[in-house]
Copies of this chain bind each other. A is one copy, B any other.
Amino acid sequence: MRADEAYEELIQRVREEATLASIEALLEWDEETHMPAGAVEGRSEQLAMVAGLLHERGTDPRIGELLDELEGSSLLEDPDSPAAVNVRELRRDYDRYVRLPRKLVQDLARTTAVAQRAWSEARKEADFIRFRPYLERIVELKRAEARCVGYDREPYDALIGDYEPGITSAIVGRLFEALRRELVPLAARIAGAGSGPAVEMLRRAVPLDAQRGFGEKVAGEVGFDFRRGRTDLGVHPCCTSLGPGDCRIGLRFDRRDFVGGILTILHEVGHGLYEQGLDPEFYGTPMGEAASVGMDESQARLWENRVGRSRGFWAHFLPKAGERFPDAFGDADLDEFHFALNRVTPSLIRVHADEVTYNVHVMIRFELERALISGDLLAAELPGAWNDAYGRYLGVTPENDAEGCLQDGHWAEGLVGYFPTYTLGDVFAAQLFARAQRELGDLEESFARGEFRELVRWLGERIYRQGGRHPSARLIEVVTGGPPDHRPLVEALRVR
C-alpha cells in the first residue's frame, strides 16, 4: 500500500470519528441546556452507545496498521507538515485508546451522564451525601482508566496527560509552588483594598434577559460569529463544538453580577473564537483541533482576564452599559469601575474569584483530585478536606457544600486532571498577550475604540490556524520566543 493511500484512508476514518464525536457533543450540550429531568436514564444509554461506537472505531486494528504503514514513510519527512502532525497525534490517541476496554469507556459515559444530574440536584440542596455515591463510582472508574493507560510515578499522571500531553503531577506541582510563593503574599498585601461604592456598583441588579442581550452584543463585537454558533442558558458555562460551523456557548447569569456574566461570556467566547478560527480544511483531524486543553483554556482566560478586566475594554463598553442600564451604571466612573472589578479578595467560589487568588482555587482542586486518585483521600472525606484547604490557603470556610466541594461540575462530568489546565492556560495567556502587545502596540487603546479585530487576527495566525501542529509548550516557544514561564502572569497581576 502506498503511503498516500494509507494516509487518505486514515484521514477518512478519523473524519468519521469526528462526526460521531460531534454527535456525542450534541447529546452532552443538550443535557446541559435543554433536556428534561425525566430523560436522564435514556440520555445515559444514548451516550454509552456513542461512546461504544467511538471506541469500536477508534481502536480498530486497521488504524494501527495504517499508522505502522505511514511511520517512517517519506510522506512524513517534514515533522511540521500536516501529515506528520496528524500521524504523530493520531498515534498517541490510538495507543492510549486501545488500552481502554470498551466496557470502561461505556461505564464512564453512562455514569457521568447520570452523575451530572445528581450533582446538579445535590448542589441545589447543598447536600453532598446525594452526590457521594456517584463521586465514588467516578473515582473508581478514573482510577481504572489510569491503571489501563499506565504511568511512571502516580496514577494521576495518566489522567492529566490526556488533557495536556507530556505534563505530569510533578511539573504541575512545581508550577503551583512557584505561583503560590508569588501570589499568596501578593494577595495578602492588596486584599480588601478598594471596597466601597464602586464595589457596591458591581452588585447592582440588572435583569437577566437584558444581561444576555448585552452579552451577546459583546460577543458579536469581539468577533464571535453567530451564523456559526449560538448561546443558550445552561447549568454551568461551557463552550462546545458540535461540528463545523456549530459552536455552542452555554451561559449562566446572576441578577447581581453583571460583570461576572460578561467575564463568563468572554471566557467562553475565547474558546469559541479558537474553535471558529481553526482551519476548516483540517476539520476532524489533529491539525484542525486545539493544540491542547491548556492552550484552549489560555484563549478563554486571555479574553476573560487580559481583555475583559482591562481598562480599555471597559472604556468602550461601560458607556454602553450605562446607556442600556442607566439605573445600575448610568453614574459609573471608569476608573472606579475598573479598580473594583480587579479588586483582590479571598473568596469561596472559583468562578467568581479575582485573578490573583483564582489559581489558589485551582491548586486546591489539583491537590484534592490527586489525592482522590492516589487513594490518599476517600470521596467521603472530601467535604472536610475541601474546607480545611480553603481555611489554610485562603482563610475562608464554606458554610455548606454548595459553596464548597459541590460548586464545580467537572468531577461529575468525569473531568479529573482537568483543573490544572486552567492555570496552564493562565500562564500561556499572559505570555501570549505580552507578545501580542509587543507586536501590535498598545492593545488597550484599540479596545477603547471597540477594536478587537487586530488581536483576533494575530491569534488566528499564531494560534488558531496552527491547530495541533505543535505541542502546547513548543507552540508557546514558537510564538513568544521562550518556553512556558509563569513570570509574565505574575508581572501582569502585579501591574494591575
Which residues of A come within 8 Å of B, CB atoms? 16, 19-20, 22-23, 26-27, 30, 34-43, 45-46, 49-50, 53, 225-230, 232, 242-246
Contacts and interface: CB of A to CB of B under 8 A. Distances in A.
Give the secondary structure class of A's interface: helix
A222 to B, nearest CB: 18
B39 A244 contact: yes
A38 B230 contact: no
A42 B245 contact: yes
Given A34-B230, A53-B53, 19 more contacts: A16-B49, A19-B46, A22-B42, A22-B46, A23-B27, A23-B46, A23-B50, A35-B246, A36-B227, A36-B230, A36-B246, A38-B225, A38-B228, A39-B245, A40-B245, A41-B244, A42-B243, A42-B246, A43-B243
A37 B35 CA distance: 22
28 contacts: A16-B49, A19-B42, A19-B45, A19-B46, A20-B49, A22-B42, A22-B46, A23-B27, A23-B49, A26-B46, A34-B232, A35-B246, A36-B228, A36-B229, A36-B245, A38-B245, A39-B228, A39-B242, A39-B243, A39-B244, A39-B246, A41-B245, A42-B242, A42-B243, A42-B244, A42-B246, A43-B243, A46-B243
A230 to B, nearest CB: 5
Number of copies: 2
A269 to B, nearest CB: 15
Q: Ordered nearest first, which 3 A-B pairs have the shortest CB separation?
A: A39-B246, A42-B243, A38-B245
Contacts of A36: 226-230, 245-246
A43 B229 CA distance: 13
A170 to B, nearest CB: 40
A401 to B, nearest CB: 25
A373 to B, nearest CB: 31
| Max chain B C-beta neighbours (<10 A), residue from A36, A50, A243 | A36
| Max chain B C-beta neighbours (<10 A), residue from A16, A22, A42, A227 | A42
Contacts of A225: 38
Contacts of A41: 244-245
A420 B230 CA distance: 37
A428 B16 CA distance: 44
Nearest to A244: B42
A289 to B, nearest CB: 15
Contact of A26 (B26, B230, B245): B26
Contacts of A37: 227
A386 B37 CA distance: 45
A49 to B, nearest CB: 5
A245 B38 CA distance: 5
Contacts of A43: 243, 246
A46 B232 CA distance: 22
Nearest to A35: B246
Given A36-B230, A38-B227, A246-B38, A23 B23 contact: yes
Nearest to A226: B36
Contacts of A30: 26, 30
Contacts of A49: 16, 19-20, 23
A451 B23 CA distance: 42
A27 B46 CA distance: 12
A43 B245 CA distance: 9
A46 B242 CA distance: 10
Contacts of A53: 53
Contact of A243 (B23, B45, B227): B45
A416 to B, nearest CB: 27
A234 to B, nearest CB: 12
